[in-house]
Amino acid sequence: MVNVDDAIIARLESYGEKFEILVDADLAADFRNPDHTEEIPIEDILAVEEIFKDSKKGDKASEEAMEKVFDTVEPLEVAKQILDKGQVQLTAEQRRHMQEDKRRMVINTIARESINPQTGYPHPAQRIENAMDECKVKIDPFTSVDQQVKTALKAIKVKIPIRFERVKMAVRLPGDVTGHAYKEINSLGKILNEEWQQDGSWIGIVEIPGGLQDAFNHKMASISRGEAETKLIK
């Protein structure tokens, strides 16, 4: 539980009533982040398990007001609804940090999933970032990466030829590394077809996101000590 002096305010106004809670800034941000997968107990986020009408004055919200708006007077349930639907007063530094993290996630996702349809090869992440800058793509720390990827992709299409596409890679590996390679291949894509050759080598057709072609080639080379053969199937 965060110290009251270090807490920030989360606020919700509804039906003419005002409600405030004191929360840990980082945990509240994680709770509101749609891309954060770990469940955070509400009691860990709160500085005090109280619902206020005005937290600075210490005025508590009435049970009548809570019942009218939230259909409950249970503080933890009310606090959860305030965090879900209300506003969190992040500091400028916290918001900047969250925006930078989310921006990098958006850029990396686009770089991973997309290709230049004119060449069939991936765009470097820096090129995607430059296009987003030129198109003035804004990042919201509380909107999911998937949703913002769609917005960013639509915007940068006017600057660079780009589309999301999965590609097929043919790969040949020495038989003695194939067991280890399976795990790495499955982390990058999906094996569509495979067969063992008479010389003991393994051949597979693997479907991967278009932007992972270089990563796939490098990983296969590393696993096989440079003996892998890979080829983009067009």
Per-domain residue ranges of the chain: 4-88, 92-163, 165-233
Bigger pLDDT: 96 vs 72:
72
Task: Report which residue type is found at 74.
Answer: E
CB-CB neighbours of 57 under 10 Å:
8
Q: Which of 141, 151, 122, 148 is nearest to 210 (CA)?
A: 122
pLDDT of 1 above 70: no
Question: In the chain, pLDDT over 70 holds for what percent of residues?
Answer: 99
pLDDT of 91 above 80: no
Prediction pTM value: 0.69
* Residues 149/209, Cβ–Cβ less than 8 Å: no
Helix, strand, coil percentages in the chain from 3-state DSSP, rounded to 5: 45, 25, 30
> Looking at the chain, which runs of residues are DSSP E strands?
8-14, 17-23, 52-54, 59-60, 87-88, 114-115, 163-164, 166-173, 190-196, 202-209, 229-233
Instruction: Spell out the long-range contacts of 158-161 with Cβ–Cβ below 8 A and sequence spacing 24 or more.
Output: 159/131, 159/134, 159/135, 160/116, 160/123, 160/127, 160/128, 160/131, 161/116, 161/117, 161/118
Range of weakest confidence among 27-31, 208-212, 217-221 = 27-31
The CATH number fitting domain 4-88, selected from 1.20.1250.20, 3.30.1250.10, 3.40.50.2000, 3.40.630.40: 3.30.1250.10
**Across 206-224, average pLDDT:** 94
CA-based angle 27:33:39, to the nearest 5? Answer: 60
Bigger pLDDT: 79 vs 26:
79
The pLDDT tens digits for 150-181 are 999 999 999 999 999 999 999 999 999 988 88
**Across 110-121, average pLDDT:** 93
pLDDT of 116 above 70: yes
pLDDT at 143: 85
pLDDT of 90 above 80: no
The pLDDT tens digits for 64-88 are 999 999 999 999 999 999 999 998 8
pLDDT at 209: 95
* Residues 169/206, Cβ–Cβ less than 8 Å: yes
**Across 76-102, average pLDDT:** 88
Q: What is the mean pLDDT of the chain?
A: 91
Residue 17 main-chain phi, psi, to 5 deg: -110, 150
Bigger pLDDT: 38 vs 22:
22
Specify the fold of 165-233: Alpha-Beta Plaits (3.30.70)
β 166-173/202-209 pair status:
antiparallel
Helix (DSSP H) and strand (DSSP E) numbers for the chain:
9, 11
Class of domain 92-163: mainly alpha
Rounded CA gap, 91 and 106, in Å?
22
Q: Which of 19, 14, 38 is nearest to 27 (CA)?
A: 38
